[in-house]
Amino acid sequence: MQFKIALCQMLVSPIKENNISHARSLIRGAAEKGSKLVVLPEMWCCPYSMKTLRDHAEDIEAKSSPSISMLSEAAAYHKITIVGGSIPEKSGGKLFNTCCVLGPDGEIKAKHRKLHLFDMDLPGESFRESDTFAYGDGPTIVDTEVGKIGIGICHDIRFPELSILYRLRGAHLICFPGAFNMSTGELLWELMQRSRAVDNQLFVAACSPARDPDVNSDYMIWGHSSLVGPFGEIIATTGHEEDVVIGEIDYSILQTRRENLPLEKQKRGDIYQLIDHSSGK
């Protein structure tokens, strides 16, 4: 299977309605260029600021989420698959960092709640996502019109076991909506995308918001959304400004790479193994 994927590295404003209509127009542009899969970034409907996230939380289960309604309409209108970045989701008195996957019929095919919350303590800089969000409780892999896709949100990329699990369950591609910051982005963002792709011999797509240098935020975004192939090759990428990165995915290359280097066969399952405690969602 061969298709175009678009990563919408959008500039996020403090006004939700503007973000929703802006995301809609980026999706339209990507679909008009022939993209069959469109990925949005982590926290595209509001700024990624722990101070204001709660005010923007939406109830996805009650079907009263303006962000997800827009994604559903867009997916059905253009007949595409959308990995809907993430939004703050309120559910059962808790807040989650949640990604929905929409199919070409506009239905939600999967919902992934961020599993690993980003708590960071660097000299002079700390960030605690776990003070605001609750933890998701399982991996998410979904069968779509554009292949089998594993979902992780940003910090989820740092935990190789999650990606290994997706590979074991047959993923062709892992999508990571993310929002790495200036302290971690330069050294780690691309390194981790390439590592997950190479470890598991699959495609990795990582989509960030654009950096807003003027924003008075507690979190400056790194940007650099990219598509990486199974040999660690960067297929398409960008800088830190708003952009829609379009790349071509050809899944036949997965088989070639897996034959070139049959890592699955060469693994020493007699010495080490991944224990899967999840229910198989």
Ligand X SMILES: NC(=O)CC(=O)C(=O)O
Residues taking part in catalysis: 42, 114, 154
118 interacts with ligand X by CB under 6 A:
yes
Using alpha carbons, list the distances in angstroms from residue 36 to 15, 153, 158, 218, 256: 28, 21, 27, 35, 23
> How many chain residues bind ligand X (CB under 6 A)?
8
Write phi, then psi, for 218 (nearest 5 degrees). Answer: -85, 10
- Kindly state whether residue 133 participates in binding ligand X, applying the rule CB under 6 A: no
What are the beta bridge partners of residue 148? 143
Q: Which of 133, 166, 180, 203 binds ligand X (CB under 6 A)?
A: 180
What crossing angle do the helices spanning 16-32 and 66-78 adopt, rounded to 10°?
10
Helix (H, G, I), strand (E, B) or coil at 23: helix
CB proximity list for 139: less than 8 A, separation 6 or greater: 112, 115, 150, 162, 165, 166, 278, 281
Measured from the CB atom, the residue of 42 and 58 that comes closer to ligand X is: 42
Choice between 42 and 243, CB closer to ligand X: 42
Query: With binding defined as CB under 6 A, does residue 38 bind ligand X?
Result: no
Name 79's bridge partners: none
Binding mask 63-102 for ligand X (x = CB under 6 A): ----------------------------------------
Residue 127 or 166 with smaller CB distance to ligand X = 127
- Residues at the site binding ligand X, with contacts judged by CB under 6 A: 42, 118, 154-155, 179-181, 184
